[in-house]
A and B are shown apart, each in its own frame.
Chain A
Amino acid sequence: MSSAITKNLKIAFFSALLVLAVAYPVLGLKLTIVGIKLEVQGASSAALWAIAAGAIAMFFWQLFRSQLGTAWSHAPKLPRMPSQASDFLTQPSTQRWFILALVLVALSWPFFGSRGAVDIATLILIYVMLGLGLNIVIGLAGLLDLGYVGFYAVGAYSYALLSYYYGLGFWVCLPIAGLMAAFFGFILGFPVLRLRGDYLAIVTLGFGEIIRILLRNMTWLTGGPNGISNIDKPTLFGLSFERRAAEGMQTFHEFFGTAYQSINKVIFLYLIALLLVLITLFVINRLLRMPLGRAWEALREDEIACRALGMNPTVIKLSAFTLGATFAGFAGSFFAARQGLVTPESFTFIESATILAIVVLGGLGSQLGVILAAVVMILLPELMREFSEYRMLMFGALMVLMMIWRPQGLMPMQRPHLELKP
């Protein structure tokens, strides 16, 4: 027996054992409560067969890997995207047209989408806004922020509190919420931005948690775990979309003399979200062409070179952090309006992780990518709702697979660049 086969056999045996060790104890045995005692029961025989089959498959796959590998290389290749096409797709100008096309689709969406579809689209738009905001911080300025959800919470609670205590409307509170979030971003960003990489990550994560815990504990102000409910929905120049208007207000359907249609409310919310996203896109696009935007990217690429060129890294980082927070504040106040209720539990770490996943999945720095990734990340669990309990399992697995399959993101963006050829 040649040593190569022995080695393969060893590896194969080891891999098969590994599959058994990973799968059997967790999937093949089940802790069950009998009365008040804990007992171990075996899983169904089907599960056991599946585990055994997995181990055997792994054994043969490892054993004949080299042979299979050569056979595989003869097999017809999956159609790959030609490099020219991918080059074309990642050009900034093409992406701009893509975004324009998406905006047109978004504008016409309420006219053929059902109520649920429009509602999901609204949710997607909230995440697009959050993704675009975080994209400034992570994708453009290269600061790893795991507590972005804190600023989202600040925005949501700003509107909720102002509406609850002072009866202010959505349109007044929207800029205030943005300012509040920006203020928090500024205050929190100031001391921590000299930290690097992962230290910054854990500190921002800590800030996100602190904000959530404070909101939960300051019951006298924020209602504690109950949050604040009955937040007013936005109005259109003073016209409400409710069935019955509050005192001194007029409803949309009364004003135009049409019958009350509840879907109008959903569509109106959707259109506001779309408007906010468009403003966000516009502002960020303008900023990117200003010296500030250029400075963000320069800083991400090489901080030392930037310093040597006389740029002030702290100011540049702080501006990115603050601006990112501002957009989270806008998104937050809209979220509060859509939901009608804010509770601290809406702003947990997993929310930050989702937004981060949107930015990375989209391709760092790419706006089109963020939009597409937000669609994927929000739509995926919704479409998988039918699988109910397997939903989050598949979501987790897909996150891993996506990173392996396309680590550069769905739609990365090319920067204008020059290459020197020797």
Chain B
Amino acid sequence: MNKATKQISKLFAAMAMAGVASYSVAADTIKIGLAGPVTGAVAQYGEMQFVGAKMAIEQINKAGGVNGSMLEGVVYDDACDPKQAVAVANKIVNDEVKFVVGHLCSSSTQPASDIYEDEGILMISPASTSPDITSRGYELIFRTIGLDSLQGPTAGNYIADHVKPKNVAVLHDKQQYGEGIATAVKQTLESKGVKVSLFEGLNAGDKDFSAMISKLKQAGVDFVYYGGYHPELGLLLRQSSEKGLKVGFMGPEGVGNKEISAIAGPASEGMLVTLPKSFDQDPKNQALVAAFKAKNEDPTGPFVFPAYAAVQVIAEGIQKAGDTDTAKVAAALRANTFDTPTGALSFDAKGDLKDFSFVVYQWHQDGTKTEAPLN
């Protein structure tokens, strides 16, 4: 790219940013790349991540920035497409951005993280839960969310110990996230001697699950675990109740979204969900929740607070390291504990959170949730 086009693209970037929030573009800024889907089918989850990260940047800047420099968020759209994620990663290298909060989809995060690690860029993903991402011995790759392999056992144990069903169906949406969790749940259930009579994928984006429901009826299932996101489970709940299939349902944090009650209505009453502790319900986060609401933004999405925490951890890591050198910051991240709205975070050698616990919630038809009873 020559100088002229670079100038133009900077201009556009500035224009784009101006619409989002008023950043003080001082000479001395630390750029943070916010990478995730702005377009494409999962743009709504990308939005959660951007909302959280931008809020953190704004608040940190208001409080005086990091070591005297201001943070600047730059949004990069990968459309949740691995090919575009590589292009975005290379663009981030080009733009000399040293810190990245993203990406969202594990399949984008993985190829992008290869490049970040190689180029000395520190990346924190607030949303990618695939265990593979941090299992490769990388130094600069972190995440502020729990792993699939953590959530599965929590759900499986709860089903086996408290629901005690006779015959379980484990369904998933044939995507990295959903199938990963569903497999973990199935293994936990089987190890505890619970019968899993059906383990099957369905097509994300489908609207009609009547064939699947008939199959569940025939298999005589009395409990269904679904690994995936809320639109499909919402439809599954809705159509099950319409077709008279009365069984218990459970899902991971991807279904723990108010909209599932909008889709399923009364059928969502009593559904079980494993969620990270719901940060927006935490009394100590009320000021932050109010700040989101003041900007007319939704703080309830599962990735809003982890994204906020990711930015905060980067900022404090830079402060602790006293430098923006990413290797030093990474060392600081591993050495310290950070008090964030998602709790006190500390990272293990792989870059995963040391303890991140999931809680089983019971869902209600008005979109609220309470902790599930342990009987």
Q: A116-B91, A243-B118, A386-B9 are in contact. Are A225 and B111 (CB under 8 A)?
A: no
Q: How far is the CA of A262 from the CA of B93 in the complex (A)?
A: 11
Interface residues on A, range: 35 or more
Closest to B180 in A: A226
Instruction: Name A234-258 residues within 8 Å CB distance of B.
Output: 243
Q: Say whether A230 contacts B136, CB under 8 Å.
A: yes
* Pairwise interchain contact B38-A389, C-beta atoms closer than 8 A: yes
* Residues in chain B near residue A114, CB distance under 8 A: 1, 94
A35, A114, A230 — which one has the most chain B CB atoms within 10 A of its CB?
A114
B91 contacts which chain A residues (CB < 8 A)? 116, 385
Which stretch from A48-56, A196-204, A336-344 is at the chain B interface? A336-344
B58 at the interface (CB under 8 A from A): no
| Cβ distance B208 to chain A, nearest Cβ, rounded Å | 17
Whether B119 lies near A262 (C-beta < 8 A) is yes
Among candidates B118, B201, B262, residue contacting A33 with C-beta atoms closer than 8 Å = B262
Contacts known (A115-B93, A391-B77); A340 close to B262, Cβ less than 8 A: no
Asked if B241 is at the interface (CB within 8 A of a chain A CB), the reply is no
Residue B326 at the chain A interface, CB threshold 8 Å: no
- For residue B104, CB closer than 8 A to chain A, the reply is no
Q: Is the CB of B367 within 8 A of A388?
A: no
Instruction: Kindly provide the distance from the CB of A318 to the nearest chain B CB, expressed in whole angstroms.
Output: 31
Most chain A Cβ neighbours within 10 Å, of B81, B90, B118, B176: B90
- Give the docked Cα–Cα distance between A243 and B38 (Å): 33
Residues 112-163 of B contacting A (Cβ, < 8 Å): 114, 118-119, 130, 132, 136
Q: Within 8 Å of chain B (Cβ to Cβ): is A229? A: yes
Provide the bound-state CA to CA distance between A340 and B132, in Å: 13
List B contacts of A341 (CB < 8 A).
82, 107, 110-111
A225 touches B175 (CB 8 A): yes
Q: How far is the CB of A49 from chain B (nearest CB, A)?
A: 19
B90 engages A116 (CB within 8 Å): yes
Q: How far is the CB of B86 from chain A (nearest CB, A)?
A: 6
A93 within 8 A of B: no
B80 to A, closest residue via Cβ: A345
**CB–CB B94/A36 < 8 A:** no
Contacts of A266 in B (CB 8 A): 90
Q: A225-B174, A339-B82 are in contact. Are A217 and B201 (CB under 8 A)?
A: yes
- B253 in the interface (beta carbon within 8 A): no
Tell me if B87 and A119 are in contact (CB < 8 A).
yes
Q: Give the CA-CA distance A341 to B107 in the complex, in Å.
A: 8
Closest CB of chain B to A42's CB: distance in Å? 16
Task: Determine if A195 is an interface residue (Cβ-Cβ < 8 Å).
Answer: no
Q: Report the minimum CB–CB distance from B92 to chain A (whole Å).
A: 9
Complex Cα distance, B94 from A117, in Å, reads 9
Most buried by A among B119, B130, B175: B175
Is the C-beta of A37 less than 8 angstroms from some C-beta in chain B? yes
Tell me, yes or no, whether B290 is within 8 Å of chain A by CB: no
Q: Does A382 contact B (CB under 8 A)?
A: yes
Nearest chain A CB to B104's CB is how many angstroms away? 14
Is the CB of B101 closer than 8 A to any CB of chain A? no
Which residues of chain A are within 8 angstroms of B16 by Cβ–Cβ distance? 386-388
- B261 touches A (CB below 8 Å): yes
The answer to whether B94 touches A115 (Cβ under 8 A) is: yes
Listed residue (B93, B107, B201) with the most chain A CB atoms within 10 angstroms of its CB:
B107
**B328 on interface, CB distance cutoff 8 Å:** no
- C-alpha spacing A210/B87, complex, angstroms: 28
Q: Is A206 an interface residue (CB 8 A)?
A: no
A38: chain B residues within 8 A (beta carbon)? 262
Inside 8 A of B83's CB, which chain A residues have their CB? 123, 335, 339, 346
On chain B, the residues within 8 Å of A123 by CB distance are 83, 87
Residues on B with beta carbons closer than 8 Å to the beta carbon of A224? 174, 179
A238 to B176 alpha-carbon distance, docked (Å): 34
Least Cβ distance of A239 to chain B in Å?
Answer: 17
CA distance A227 to B82 in the complex (A): 11
Instruction: Tell me, yes or no, whether B214 is within 8 Å of chain A by CB.
Output: no
Q: Give the distance in Å from the alpha carbon of A389 to the alpha carbon of B83 in the complex.
A: 18
Chain B residues within an 8 Å CB radius of A306? none
The smallest beta-carbon distance between A18 and chain B, in angstroms, is 28
A211 to chain B minimum Cβ distance, whole angstroms, is 15
Cβ-defined contact, B75 with A388, below 8 A: yes
Across-interface contacts of B38 in A (CB, < 8 A): 388-389
B130 contacts A338, C-beta separation under 8 Å = no
B366 near A: Cβ within 8 Å?
yes
Contacts A217-B174, A341-B82 aside, 17 further interface pairs with beta carbons under 8 A come to: A33-B259, A36-B261, A37-B262, A119-B87, A119-B90, A120-B90, A217-B201, A225-B174, A225-B176, A226-B179, A226-B180, A230-B136, A339-B83, A341-B110, A345-B81, A386-B16, A389-B38
Q: Write 23 A-B pairs (CB below 8 A) sorted by A numbering.
A: A33-B258, A36-B261, A36-B366, A113-B1, A115-B90, A115-B94, A116-B94, A117-B1, A117-B94, A119-B90, A217-B201, A225-B107, A225-B174, A225-B179, A226-B107, A226-B132, A226-B179, A227-B107, A265-B118, A341-B82, A341-B110, A343-B107, A385-B91
- Closest 10 pairs between A and B when the two form their complex, measured CB to CB: A386-B12, A116-B94, A119-B90, A36-B262, A36-B367, A36-B261, A388-B38, A341-B111, A225-B176, A116-B91
